[in-house]
């Protein structure tokens, strides 16, 4: 007898999956830019110094959008330091990460790199030391065709054509006490509104108009902030009609010292879903209060696992220190898979998301100076979900058991079901968080006669197993025999204890 039943019907949809939920994030932090995507002299570097081995891995990951240049970094960054002749650019103190920013790589280099990697840029403007005027000037530099000081400067420096940047983040984590020139919700709400208005006037299109630029205002920087969720309400009350998204950020970590370390960590995936539900409710509250027809969505533009207790071992005030270089374990990969399911299961409201980050800094890709680029454990669930989790998410109903975590009850079997009508495919992404194998019956109705085409599993590993430069393939996905399907709708799966699973059906 199956212990867990998962039921899904084609007609019961959650919402369309915006491909931008598979975005990522690149900050001027540690070796993300310098030594990550950019390493002049590396054997795979092109004439601009962009590492082609890294670009190839990013393409394999299936990342459509990258948020840049921060992060905490952006709140002290003067974008004008990063343009023009490289020999004349000045190195500056980066207070966010106690590093030296050489400014060898700036807006024009990022735009060129995006073009090479087939990526859509999402630019963050400085709402810390920066003013609305600085943001407008950056906007003019990037998006205005010609005939003004900054647009002509861009034409002179780098590109005749405007960059046409569509996504603009209005600051970063302005509620955080660590943020350079952080603000209260009231002050940030007013500043963000004024900034968005100026950028909208420069864009000359209304918020909901076709082709208009899109704005993201800062939501709470995580769910444990004492000001959460009031911050989100107040910011939205100031900015609701102008903004298109409110941001969410959340990092989880494995804490061996906690009471039930494994359960507490595995409970993160369901907790992420609860967090999204609260922010959704806050958006709906403000929409109702404003009697508004406008829709604001969530940009979950920083999410990942990050061991924030690890002490810094690199000196301060150097260029590109080795910091935040988390090595992801098999255990991390399991939670990561559940976090991706949380994004999919909220596809109706989460319309953009950025895995934080992309290379070297809490990232799925790690590089060696002058050497290799490797895939961390978390690379694999991201790759499978971004390449296959397309179309729409279907609501799944489950009889899964549960376990207790520091966040409350969490599901033992954590799944998401997607349907891509254009490819006539149904996919199931599933984590078994149980310590023993789980018999699971899938019933996928109304799609037609389903045939299982692919079954991939990541299982059987030591929880601490990780991919390293000396052992890059310690944790890799395994192709298994596709499942038999009964009556075109039912399939029986024996999910390994502690496993991540991917099933692809066609009809």
Q: List interacting residues with ligand AHR (CB under 6 A).
A: 27, 70-72, 172-173, 221, 302, 356-357
Specify the residue, 27 or 203, whose C-beta has the smaller distance to ligand AHR.
Answer: 27
Closer CB to ligand AHR, 305 or 394, in the complex: 305
Distance CA 182, CA 96 (A): 12
Beta carbon of residue 32, minimum distance to ligand AHR (angstroms, whole number):
9
Residue whose tokens read 């962009």? 50
CA dihedral 12, 13, 14, 18 (to 10 degrees): 170
Question: Within 13 Å and on the Cβ side, how many CA atoms surround 216?
Answer: 30
3-state class (DSSP) for residue 270 = helix
Nearer to ligand AHR, 103 or 172 (CB): 172
**209 burial class (0-12, 13-18, 19+ CB within 10 angstroms)?**
exposed
3-state helix, strand, coil in the chain (%, to 5): 30, 30, 45
Is 71 or 273 the residue whose CB approaches ligand AHR more closely?
71
- Closest separation in Å from C-beta 402 to ligand AHR: 30
Nearer to ligand AHR, 180 or 498 (CB): 180
Pairing of strands 490-495, 438-445: antiparallel
CB closest to ligand AHR, residue no: 71
Task: Give the C-alpha separation, 278 to 264, whole Å.
Answer: 20
User: Does the annotation mark 237 as catalytic?
Assistant: no
Supply the Cα-derived Rg of the chain in whole angstroms: 23
Nearer to ligand AHR, 335 or 412 (CB): 335
Q: What is the dihedral of CA 402, 403, 409, 415, to 10 degrees?
A: -50
Evaluate whether 239 touches 217 at the Cβ level (below 8 Å).
Answer: yes
Query: Alpha-carbon distance 497 to 248, whole Å?
Result: 31
443 labelled catalytic: no
* Active-site hit among 109, 302, 392, 425: 302
Tokens 């596809």 belong to residue: 347
Cα 254-353-496 angle, rounded to 5 deg: 45
Minimal distance, residue 361 CB to ligand AHR, in Å: 7
CB of 326 to ligand AHR, least distance (A): 11
The first and second tokens of residue 138, run together, are: 């950056």
> How, if at all, do strands 65-68 and 92-94 pair?
unpaired
Tokens of 393: 């998410």
Exposed e or buried b per residue across 305-315, where buried means at least 16 C-beta atoms within 10 angstroms of its C-beta: bbbeeeeeeee
**Residues 24 and 357 sit within 8 Å (Cβ to Cβ):** yes
Residue from 27, 39, 140, 173 carrying the catalytic annotation: 173
Q: Minimum CB separation from ligand AHR for residue 93, in Å? A: 16
- Report the alpha-carbon distance of residue 170 to residue 208 in Å, rounded: 18
What is the sign, positive or negative, of the torsion defined by CA atoms of 281, 72, 22, 170? positive
Q: Give how far Cα 210 sits from Cα of 166, 200, 417, Å.
A: 11, 13, 30
- CA dist list (Å): 456 to 239, 304, 394: 44, 22, 20
In the complex, minimum distance from the CB of residue 492 to ligand AHR, in angstroms, rounded to a whole number: 41
Residue 130 near residue 136 (C-beta atoms within 8 A): no
Compute the distance between CA of residue 57 and CA of residue 117 in angstroms, rounded to an integer: 10
Three-state SS letters, 473-489: CCCCCEEECCCCEECCC
The β-bridge relationship of strands 214-217 and 373-375 is: unpaired
Of the two residues 24 and 501, which places its CB atom closer to ligand AHR in the complex? 24
- Which are the catalytic amino acids? 173, 302
């Amino acid at each position: 007898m199956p212990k867990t039943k998962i039921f899904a019907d084609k007609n019961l949809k959650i919402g369309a999956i915006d491909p931008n939920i598979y975005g990522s994030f690149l900050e001027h932090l540690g070796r993300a830019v310098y030594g990550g995507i950019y390493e002049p002299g590396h054997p795979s570097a092109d004439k601009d110094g962009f590492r082609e081995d890294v670009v190839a891995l990013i393409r394999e990951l299936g990342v459509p959008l990258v948020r840049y240049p921060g992060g905490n970094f952006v709140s002290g960054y003067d974008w004008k330091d990063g343009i023009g002749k490289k020999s004349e650019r000045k190195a500056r103190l980066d207070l966010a990460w106690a590093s030296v920013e050489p400014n060898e790589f700036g807006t024009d280099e990022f735009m060129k790199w995006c073009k090479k990697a087939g990526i859509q840029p999402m630019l963050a403007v400085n709402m810390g030391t920066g003013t609305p005027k600085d943001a407008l000037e950056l906007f003019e530099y990037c998006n205005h065709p010609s005939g003004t000081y900054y647009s002509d400067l861009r034409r002179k420096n780098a590109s005749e054509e405007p960059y046409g940047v569509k996504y603009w983040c209005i600051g970063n984590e302005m509620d955080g006490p660590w943020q350079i020139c952080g603000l209260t919700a009231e002050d940030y709400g007013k500043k963000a509104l004024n900034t968005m208005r100026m950028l909208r006037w420069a864009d000359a299109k209304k918020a909901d108009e076709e082709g208009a630029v899109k704005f993201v205002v800062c939501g709470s920087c995580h769910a444990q902030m004492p000001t959460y969720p009031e911050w989100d309400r107040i910011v939205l009350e100031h900015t609701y009609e102008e903004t298109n998204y409110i941001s969410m950020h959340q990092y989880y970590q494995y804490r061996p010292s906690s009471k039930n370390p494994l359960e507490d960590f595995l409970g993160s995936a369901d907790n992420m879903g609860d967090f999204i539900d609260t922010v959704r409710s806050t958006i709906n509250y403000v929409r109702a209060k404003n009697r508004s027809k406008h829709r604001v969505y969530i940009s979950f533009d920083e999410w990942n696992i990050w061991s924030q207790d690890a002490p810094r071992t690199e000196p301060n005030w150097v260029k590109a220190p080795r910091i935040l270089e988390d090595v992801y374990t098999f255990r991390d990969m399991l939670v990561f898979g559940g976090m991706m399911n949380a994004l999919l299961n909220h596809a109706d409201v989460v319309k953009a998301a950025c895995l934080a980050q992309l290379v070297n800094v809490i990232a799925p890709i790690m590089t060696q100076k002058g050497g290799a680029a490797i895939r961390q454990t978390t690379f694999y669930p991201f790759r499978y979900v971004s390449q296959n989790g397309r179309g729409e998410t279907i609501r799944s109903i489950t009889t899964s058991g549960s376990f207790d975590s520091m966040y409350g009850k969490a599901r033992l079997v954590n799944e998401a079901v997607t349907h891509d009508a254009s490819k006539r495919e149904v996919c199931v992404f599933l984590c078994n968080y149980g310590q023993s194998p789980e018999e699971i019956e899938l019933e996928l109705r109304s799609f037609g006669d389903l045939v299982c085409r692919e079954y991939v599993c990541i299982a059987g590993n030591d929880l601490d197993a990780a991919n390293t430069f000396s052992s890059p393939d310690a944790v890799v996905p395994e192709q298994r025999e596709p499942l038999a399907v009964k009556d075109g709708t039912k399939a029986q799966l024996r999910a390994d204890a502690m496993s991540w699973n991917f099933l692809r059906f066609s009809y």
